[in-house]
Structure 1
Amino acid sequence: MHGQDFADDPHSVYDALRAFGPAAPVELAPGVDATLVIDYQAARTVLQNTMDFSRDPRRWKALNEGRIALDSPVLPMMAYRPNCLFTDGAVHLRLRKAVTDSLDRLNIARIRRDVEPIAAFLIDQFSERGRADLLNDYAKLLPLLLFNRLFGCPAGIGDRLTSSMSAIFDGKDVIKANEELTACLMELIALKRREPGDDVTSWLIQHPAGLNDEELKDQLVMLMGAGVEPERNLIGSALLLLLSSSSSGRGAGMLTEEALDDVLWHNPPIANYATHYPVHDVDLGGVHVDADTPLVISFAAANNDPALKDTPQSHTKGAHLAWGAGPHACPAKSPATVIAVTAIEAILNALPDLALDVPAEQLQWRPGPFHRALATLPVRFTPTPGTRVAAFHTPLQATRTTTAEPPRATTTPIPRQENKPSRKGFWSTFLDIFRV
């Protein structure tokens, strides 16, 4: 599952694996074996059964025995962290309560209000060129910058957070990037303990669960990991569907929400994950799975299970497993959807003649066992002035209110920051524009 052939056509691989039954043996990376659950009902069973299946990777027998290389590319996604993704029972409930309560404070109006100026800022960076890579110029950067905003990051910490998370997702010097990510998050936590704000970091600190600094750091890492990479892939794949549609295409006449739902059913951004470890040997629909071995849920294969075609689930919008199920289901389903809808509508409205710059079948998909991710999304459009940010040029303090009123437009265009000879990161540049 780690080669380019799988990235190019994963559904052919899933179809071939169905010969094994509801689950099949796979190799996630060189030397990393697992069992992939590809049957819809079997996937729901595992996701909802906390007695027989644990999320704690400290049970992983091969890793404990030293048979998994410590520099394995899948280890950052699979190794234990004390967060609500990799814990069970009372510990999981305590950590998840802190996360869900904090996320619940992000109302829909605020999320849209935060996404829109970031989208305008990014579009302004390339709108005069008439061409762009919507993956790396837009879909990748928007959630990174948004999380800086939601976490309450000052300029320096935000730039480092953005660069380190980008490096981790791109597999570039992952060990160093992880060290930098840890360092800047610990600085952020120390800052927010001294100077709390109206942001997710401060809310986690203030939560009655009483998270210590290590726990806070790992919940923030989990939120970024679960929010940035999947959001990029969701936005990119939905834009591809909308832009590649024709009069007879699957995306023809689709609304943004319909395109997102189509992606979540057929090509979910996190295609294979939610690793479980059986606490004892189990029989999964005739497939034997050893205790303490990785059991990976294929959301993509389960959603496209042929057995679903004639069932009520196949006609129900929310029945797909892209958000997971059971006690570890994604706690950010609503915010993630609003972010994607707002981002997609912002660029389609800003560049109404947006079109693919290459045929859809020539696009490259990034290899990797867990995601369904475009490598690039080249587009062309009529060049337009990069002055959209002007409509959002209000002090940052004003955007922290709870009202849903849009910011007033200014009459003076804000100069494009890329024309300045600056070595600042995107987040510093964004803050410079929106600073009083």
Structure 2
Amino acid sequence: MLQNWKKILMLAIPSLLSFATATVIGTVNLIMVGHLGALIIAIVGVSNIIMYNGFAIFSGIGHTVNYLVAQNYGANDMRTGIKRMYYALYLVTIFAIILFVVGWFFSGEILGWTGGSSELVGVGEQYLELRFFALSLGMISFVFHGFLRGIGDTKTSMVLSVISNVIILFLVYGLVFGHFGLPELGLEGSGYAILIGEFVGLVLAIYVYFFRLHPLYQTRTWVVPRLRDMKELITESTKLGVQEFSMSLSMFIFTVFVARLGTEALAANEVALNVMSFGFMPAFAFGATATILVGQEVGRGQPLKGRRAGTDTAIMGSIFLLVLGTLEFIFAENIAMLYNNTDPAVYHTAAQLIMISAFLQLFDGFLNFYAGGLRGIGDTTFLLRTSLVVAWCLFVPLSYVLIFVFDLGSIGAWIALYSYLMVFGLTLMYRFYRTDWQHVKIKGAVHAT
């Protein structure tokens, strides 16, 4: 068991550090712009939700590459893995162009759909446009990172993420406040910083894949697009993308509901969500590790070892979340005041939300750990169906009822959020252990070129 746990940590810690860096950068970014006022916090919060939705729509490509390549790696069939990677790059490039165009022409309209004030739309439009441009680059990078995780190279993925995010941090500080001889651009400076950081990250990912990995896997082998070969990737990507989009769209509607409570409530909600992203961080990291380990064991024809690896990963991830939750519960108000210590209505409400979430975030962990394991075996149809049912039959209706019918405000919103995460997480855990693991097989290979 100790050997298994060591292997899990060797994969999870780089992913954890990668997600941690991104989370810290997001937190510092919010703290920096947060001192510009509650309106700016609200703009960043709404923009983050919009970006999450944009990312979710096309994220299935990266998730699919991750688990399919993991299976190919385990089966020692990287020729097929490289083909699948090329097909993914063709698809994601098309979608990246779509995101760029949407951001260029429709950022103002999209902000208006959130129900925010006209002031929020006017001040935030260009910031959101820059975020869309950055997202179009980040989506392509996400596919490269999916490949790296699939072959178990989480360290390189971590290094690329750290470099990109450190650049973002440096430029946010410089461009928001005008330091280092850079212009003082306020909120827009944060948008430019994120765009530049994503560009650098993409260039580095391209270099690693096409040059550093070429001697090992012949990554510069041209693959002719064939619809019959791409069908599997398109189908799996669509299921995982719709699953993620279902979750993110329900979060968007949740944010719209909270926005109706006013700018201060929206700002408090964003602060709390940002703090809780430190809980999402180990959840995502260990979930990604579960996909890698389960997928590789399935590729080796040893699915029962994959089940054991998924269980060990869930145990270790849960320990991380419990320790983190304890710290968040004890220091909730102190943490909230780091973001905004001038508006009591913001930091008091944010502290309450953080305390509600401190231990309940364990269910978000279950969601990610077992979703990762189910992706590893390719059980994507169940993930899709469960996401649709729980989001639209539970989360959204319950949010509306608790916020507006029972008038529980932000507290009601977060009770609904964690009811959703609890049901979703426990359902996936049940599915994981009820699966007939002895008959789990690798996904079919694409046709030879």
TM-score, normalization: structure 2? Answer: 0.27
Q: Between Structure 1 and Structure 2, which shows a larger proportion of helix residues?
A: 2
Higher relative contact order, chain-length normalized (CA < 8 Å, sep 6+): 1
TM-score, normalised via structure 1 length:
0.28
Tell me which protein shows more strand as a share of its residues. Answer: 1
